Structure 1
Amino acid sequence: MDSAKTSIVAGIVLMAMGLLFLLDRLGGADSGVYVPALMFAAVGAVFLAIFFRSREHWWAAIPGSVFLGLAAVITATQVIPGSAGGAYLFLFMAAGFAAVYVRQPDNWWAVIPAGVMFTLAIIVALPQALHGTAVAAVLFLGLAATFGILSLIPVRTSGHPGRLMWPLVPAAALGLLGVIFALQATAQLIPVDFAVPAVMILAGIALLVYAYRVRDRGPRTH
């Protein structure tokens, strides 16, 4: 990063820290609480500047998202009561890995950790009343959706564009487990008489999607 960009980042950090200390002196805020968050945000901004500087610096989105996520968690714990603030870290990390793929589509592998981080963010944000089998349902369904998306996006392997087929296998297995846990989690709300038709409807939708994909075949990568 050149000296001009470094000066801009340093100037913004100094101004923000000065404002926090001023508010502390005036009794408007406890600046000591937000200084760590500001430091993490400054480091994250540096990595983001490196990321936007060149396509070859796609890796900088990962540490940048981590530091920005830590800053968001520290800030959220001071503003929002409860333990859901930790979800911001996973959200920022999911955005970081998604940015890696958007910046360089050859890094299709980044879709997997992006989906995993987003799923963990949802799990952390779930209320305490939904913990148990609901967490397992969200986990498996989120992972299934991740691999399902991976099978839909165009990738380039061995110099040939196409789509990956192998993610459909873990997507189907994880999706089945997710549906089972989801039905167990809602067993008290959905009578058993409705569970079997619900499974049949889901299976029918899966078959229709599969038939559509077979009919609309394009270049694929095995």
Structure 2
Amino acid sequence: MTTTELRRPKPWVLPLGLLVTAFLAFSLPPYLGLDSARSRIPAPTGWYYPVLVTHIGFATIAMVTCALQIWPWLRREHPAVHRRTGRVYVFAGAIPASIAGFVIALAAPFGPVGAVSNVLLATLWFGCTVQGYRLARARRFGEHRRWMARSFALCMSIISNRIWGVLWAAVLTPQLDTTFGGSELALGQAIAGITTWTGWVLPLLAAEWWLGRGRRRAVA
């Protein structure tokens, strides 16, 4: 790859920034006043809402700093800023957000299928992030980028989750009186369960395909 190709602006940088900004502008307002009545997710226990808000706060930091981390220009022209932003992503974003996400997943009101998915998501996000940080500390930067690509996919999967939620609701809602016997609870749990699995599994598979594509190019 030539120097000109390396310095060429990446076409996905601006769309990603706009997508993250739009998502946060839509998702955050109900939680800014710390009013549980405005929560889009019903709180099944007294401790659930504070932990949910904690998760949302740290996840917001994670999304913003993660978007900055994969900006090639910032990484190339300002490596010190890239390193500092990376530490913020790890210690003030992904790690606390994934821990809080693990806790709320255990009590989320979306049924066992969604709970298992969210527990796995939180565990993998934590693990990929820690591994990526450890490799950076060991100056194994090639492997570091691979693990952080996985962490990025899991971090941003919340956006994919919302898109799949709309799709699965459109597909399954007409089956309320047939497949689900008129039970709105069963319908809601089915939508949530399928949504959360497709929400993070598909982005992670896409990341693995992209990483494998890079290796195939290197071999060729």
TM-score (norm 2): 0.34
Q: From the CA coordinates, give the structure whose radius of gyration is larger.
A: 1
| Structure with higher RCO (Cα < 8 A, 6+ apart) | 2
